[in-house]
Each structure stands twice: as structure tokens, then as C-alpha cells.
Amino acid sequence: QVQLQESGPGLVKPSQTLSLTCTVSGGSISSGNYYWSWIRQHPGKGLEWIGYIYDSGSTYYNPSLKSRVTISIDTSKNQFSLKLSSVTAADTAVYYCAREVEYCGGDCSSYFDYWGQGTLVTVSS
Amino acid sequence: QSVLTQPPSVSGAPGQTITISCTGSSSNIGAGYDVHWYQQLPGTAPKFLIYGNSNRPSGVPDRFSGSKSGTSASLAITGLQAEDEADYYCQSYDSSLTVFGGGTKLTVL
């Protein structure tokens, strides 16, 4: 059973960089069949996809956040990480890491089959 | 404003059937991208519910079913149970970008 667990500071000051790590257990992050993603949920709101990384290190980000986002991977530790720079109160959210699976029924898309429990990050001075 | 539109809320009595719609456009669902669904119980992470419009992962009861037609998709829940009370989200692609619906809160009366 694959499990994902987010970790990192729950409080970040405005203008600083939010940093989170997702540790994957029960499976290898290097299996080559999956993307490793970050998704966030503003309080009381819906889900927003942030971006993903492949085990090769290739990344793809949501254009709305692309200028501030960096996702990296450490296959030796079975972890991947999120950095979001220049944060404001609008970045206060629960951040989830998830495993993303490519699916080609019609045109190829993907879905998220395993999720971390989520971690609340508050941006405040 | 979400790219995929869901009703903010639906409700039903135990045992009844409800449906949740997910309306898109020609750049996402109508373009041929599949729709996937998630259930989010209060205070928990989303749970994978339906993939590829109508496929259930192992462990998901057959009370849950999905369909897609044109630029819309639907999630149906039959034999409604109290534990089905949750938020439900549809997800698809739009111009190669993952997009979610705004979510629907299901209340079991």
C-alpha cells in the first residue's frame, strides 16, 4: 500500500519561501510509471493543482504559479519537495502531495490515486 | 471560477439516488479528456473514487458510478448512506493542464 506524508513548517512569513517535503513509502518513487504532484486547497475552497515531477526530474507547473514554484525529487530518500517563493496570505492553504497516474482512455489525461493527509500552511507575520 | 462547473450542493435521503453534474467545454471534457472523481470526507484528504469517466478502483462500492456525454460528466450515488456525506470533486484536463471542479457538498438528510 503506497503512502504519502507531507512535512514542513506550518507557518511561513509573507515574502518568504514555503518549503514542503513528501515522503513516499510502500513503493519506489523511481518506478517510472507515475508523476509526483502537489495540490493545494484554500480554506473552505476547491482543489488547485500546483505541478508535478517525474522521476527523471522533468517538471510541469500550473502556469498561474509557475514563476514561483519549484518541485524537486530525491530518489535516494524516496521524497519529492515543493518550494513556493514570495508567499502572501493568498497562499494559505492545505497542501497535499499525491501520486499521479497517466490514463489514456480518450485523450490522455491523469488522475491522483494516492494522496497524503495534507498539511496546513499559514502565511502570516 | 472553476473551469469545470459543479452544483455547490445536493442532498438526498438515505436510500435515494443522487447525481452530481460536472459541466465543461470544448477545451476540456468536450475535447475528449476523461473525467475523474474524488470524495473528500470532512477533515480528510480527497479519496480516489472514479477514473476514466466510469471506472471504479478496487474497494469503491458499486453504488458509485460515473458517466460522460459531450461536454459534461456525472457522478451517481445509489442507495445513499449517511457515510456518503462529503464533498465531491470532478477532475479533467484543459489545454494539457489538470483542472478540478469547484466541488459539490452532498448532504444526507
- pLDDT tens profile A20-63: 999 999 999 998 789 999 999 999 999 999 999 998 899 999 99
Structure confidence at residue B27 as a pLDDT band (50, 70, 90): very high
Of A62, A109, A115, the CB nearest to B33: A109
Distance linking the first and last C-alpha atoms of chain A? 39
Of B92, B98, B103, the CB nearest to A46: B103
- Cβ(A69)–Cβ(A83) under 8 Å? yes
What's residue A58's pLDDT? 93
Kindly list the residues from chain A whose CB atom is less than 8 angstroms away from the CB atom of residue B31.
Answer: 107
Round to whole Å and give the CA distance between B70 and B86. Answer: 27
What's residue A61's pLDDT? 96
What's residue A70's pLDDT? 98
Round to whole Å and give the CA distance between B20 and B56. Answer: 16
Mean pLDDT of chain B: 95
In SS3 terms, A5-22 reads as EEECCCEECCCCCEEEEE
For an interface test with B, which of A47, A58, A66 has the most B Cβ atoms less than 10 Å from its Cβ?
A47
- What mean pLDDT comes out for the span A80-84? 98
Mean pLDDT of chain A: 95
- What mean pLDDT comes out for the span B14-30? 96
For an interface test with B, which of A111, A113, A117, A119 has the most B Cβ atoms less than 10 Å from its Cβ?
A111
What's residue A48's pLDDT? 96
Kindly list the residues from chain A whose CB atom is less than 8 angstroms away from the CB atom of residue B39.
Answer: none
Q: Which residue of B has its CA nearest to A4?
A: B45
What's residue A105's pLDDT? 76
Evaluate if residue B31 carries a pLDDT over 80.
yes
Phi, psi values for residue B29, rounded to 5°: -60, -45
- What mean pLDDT comes out for the span B4-10? 97
Give residues with Cβ within 8 angstroms of B59, minimum separation 6: none
Does B33 contact A47 at a Cβ distance shorter than 8 Å? no
Q: Which residue of B has its CA nearest to A49?
A: B98
- What mean pLDDT comes out for the span A98-124? 92
Evaluate if residue A103 carries a pLDDT over 90.
no
Q: How far is CA B77 from the centre of its chain?
A: 10
What's residue A107's pLDDT? 78
